[in-house]
Copies of this chain bind each other. A is one copy, B any other.
Amino acid sequence: MQRYFIEIPQINERLVLPTNVYHHAITVMRLKPGARFEAVAADQKVTVMQLVEVTDETAVAKVCHKFTQTVELPLEVTIVCGLSKKDKADWIVQKGTELGAQHFIFFAGDYSVARWDQKKRTKKLARLRKIITGASEQAHRLSIPTVEYIEDLHSLTLEHYSERVVAYEEAAKQGEKSILAQLISRLKTVDKLSQTHLVAVFGPEGGISPAEIQYLQQNNFLLAGLGPRIMRAETAPLYMLVALSYAFELA
């Protein structure tokens, strides 16, 4: 069933679909009266809605029933990525949303070739938010991840994060392969995992600079390898998210 993020009325009340939802549900998906869809509100409750009236300009739906679901990762994860070229940011937020990240932060790393100036930044962030909303609906997420841009790693508000890790290719090359598993094992023993906020930092295509690594180490980031194969910059964040999902949601 199609899912939309939308503030929904109480049971028995009716809802006029907002323009963007009308466009997707009626124009793109061609839903007809009687068709059902899911609406997710800010309180993460899911409501099954049924279309009762569709015209060329408006559509009205009524509430059928509400339910709750557990589809969010059991801990809060922020993915921090150095800017890479082309559409890699698009790709990272789309796949990262499917895989359960709650926040994305992009930064201009010491080795980033790309930079987002003020004008580009506004446009890029709007585009990323649109991709994230679409991916959240398709992945049946209960909340829409956030995305922001910071000038450099020093602008990261460290005190937000109780757990800190950086994917470090040099560590992987030297055969480091236990840090991530140790972190996950420890988190499995944490009492209130839902209050744990993990930040994971990934370099741009050019990698993380020695100065950046030093700054992160001084701020209690773990340097973790992600297996023996060299991954592209955009693949590493997904590796981290799947490892967390597998360990906490399946294993």
Are A232 and B98 within 8 A (Cβ)? Answer: yes
Are B232 and A242 within 8 A (Cβ)? Answer: no
Please report which residues of chain A, range 133-150, place their CB below 8 angstroms from some CB of chain B when the two chains form the complex. Answer: 138-141
New A-B pairs, 14, CB < 8 Å, besides A98-B235, A180-B250, A226-B250: A98-B232, A99-B231, A100-B227, A139-B229, A140-B229, A177-B249, A178-B250, A180-B246, A228-B249, A238-B238, A238-B242, A239-B245, A246-B246, A247-B251
A68 to chain B, nearest CB (A): 12
- A126 contact set on B, CB distance < 8 A: none
- A177 contact set on B, CB distance < 8 A: 249-250
Query: 1/0 per position for A1-44, CB-CB distance to B under 8 A?
Result: 00000000000000000000000000000000000000000000
- A180 contact set on B, CB distance < 8 A: 246, 250
Number of interface residues of A (CB under 8 A): 35
Query: 1/0 per position for A198-237, CB-CB distance to B under 8 A?
Result: 0000000000000000000000000001111111100100
A158 contacts partner chain B, Cβ-Cβ < 8 Å:
no
Residue in contact with A229 in the complex, picked from B141, B225, B231, B251, CB distance below 8 Å: B141
Are B239 and A243 within 8 A (Cβ)? Answer: no
A193 contacts partner chain B, Cβ-Cβ < 8 Å:
no
Residue in contact with A70 in the complex, picked from B98, B178, B228, B249, CB distance below 8 Å: B228
A95 contacts partner chain B, Cβ-Cβ < 8 Å:
yes
Nearest CB to that of A224 among chain B residues? B250
Residue in contact with A232 in the complex, picked from B138, B178, B226, CB distance below 8 Å: B138
